[in-house]
Amino acid sequence: MGEFWHRFARNRQALFGLGILGCVILLAAIAPLVYPADPFSLAGQSMSPPGENGFLLGSDSLGRDVAAGIAHGAKTSLMIGLVATLVAVLIGVIMGALAGYYGGWIDDLLMRTTEMFQTIPSFVFAILLVAIMKPSIESVVIAIAVVSWPAVARLVRGEFLSLRNREFVQACHTVGMSDIRIMLGEILPNCLSPIIVIGSLMVATAILIESGLAFLGLGDPNVMSWGFQIGAGRTLLRSAWWVCTFPGIAILLTVLAINLVGEGLNDALNPRLRERAG
């Protein structure tokens, strides 16, 4: 762990990303303290530019505080990213592990299923799922997870395929360990690092997908999120640029930060690459 952190900390970009990410998480945590009111509340003069009428980042067409929305939206956006990713990783790991470990017809069946999901245009599929389940936070999370898991499944399958014939796995077989224990206890820990890397990047993508869905009017109307703010502010872009620009910047910074951290993790977990090249 110490060595890992040492390698990670050497990467300035990754540290920078971690710093921003920390700020976003902090923002989400303190939002209820700084902005105790409902972020949807009509807080004052509508369309106030940043800094005027007591609005740090301005207000929108109904007089809602953009800054309060960003603060409260941070939690939603991070939550959507995180939960969708966890669900996707869970499905992906199960599918990939079973396929890679058992091979044969199980592998065939599961991989054909994975291919099927990869062959459907993913964004349209996400739209379809949200439309069917009715726009809500849950349906957005499920839709994002459903279109994201195949990548994880492929990755995990590959890792399991290469690890299942290693000596330590063979040894486990000879001592009569159950398949489940071998998969969970022996092989999985050995392929965690690529899963962490791909997972971190998926969080970022999930946040982007959420904003895309919200742009098309498929967000949850009762929950403040950055996607909601952008969707609600987009027609104001020419008259009140601040309404969707600040949430856009919030998304940009967060996605950027997560990506930098993800790359940092990648480099730190796979030191081979950078050192050989260097």
Which residues of the chain form contacts with another protein (CB under 8 A)?
Answer: 13, 38, 40-42, 46, 61-63, 112-113, 115-116, 118-125, 127-129, 131-132, 134-135, 204, 208, 211-212, 215-217, 221-222, 230-232, 234-239, 244-245, 248, 251-256, 259-260, 263, 272-274, 276-278
Among residues 72 and 183, whose Cβ is nearest to another protein? 72
Residues 194/176, Cβ–Cβ less than 8 Å:
no
Per DSSP, the three-state class of 183 is helix
E strands within 18-66? none
The CA-atom distances, in angstroms, between 232 and each of 16, 224, 229 are 31, 11, 5
User: What's the min distance (Å) between Cβ of 148 and another protein?
Assistant: 12
Among residues 106 and 124, whose Cβ is nearest to another protein? 124
Among residues 132 and 175, whose Cβ is nearest to another protein? 132
Q: CB neighbours of 85 closer than 8 A, spacing ≥ 6? A: 145, 148, 199, 202, 203, 206
Q: CB neighbours of 24 closer than 8 A, spacing ≥ 6? A: 74, 78, 250, 253, 254, 257
Among residues 58 and 248, whose Cβ is nearest to another protein? 248
Q: CB neighbours of 102 closer than 8 A, spacing ≥ 6? A: none
User: What's the min distance (Å) between Cβ of 77 and another protein?
Assistant: 12
User: What's the min distance (Å) between Cβ of 177 and another protein?
Assistant: 34
Closest of 36, 38, 17, 29 to residue 74, by C-alpha: 29
Residues 83/89, Cβ–Cβ less than 8 Å:
no
User: What's the min distance (Å) between Cβ of 173 and another protein?
Assistant: 29
Among residues 165 and 239, whose Cβ is nearest to another protein? 239
How far is Cα 275 from Cα 271, in angstroms, rounded to an integer?
6
Among residues 161 and 216, whose Cβ is nearest to another protein? 216
Per DSSP, the three-state class of 28 is helix
User: What's the min distance (Å) between Cβ of 121 and another protein?
Assistant: 3
How far is Cα 265 from Cα 198, in angstroms, rounded to an integer?
10
User: What's the min distance (Å) between Cβ of 253 and another protein?
Assistant: 8
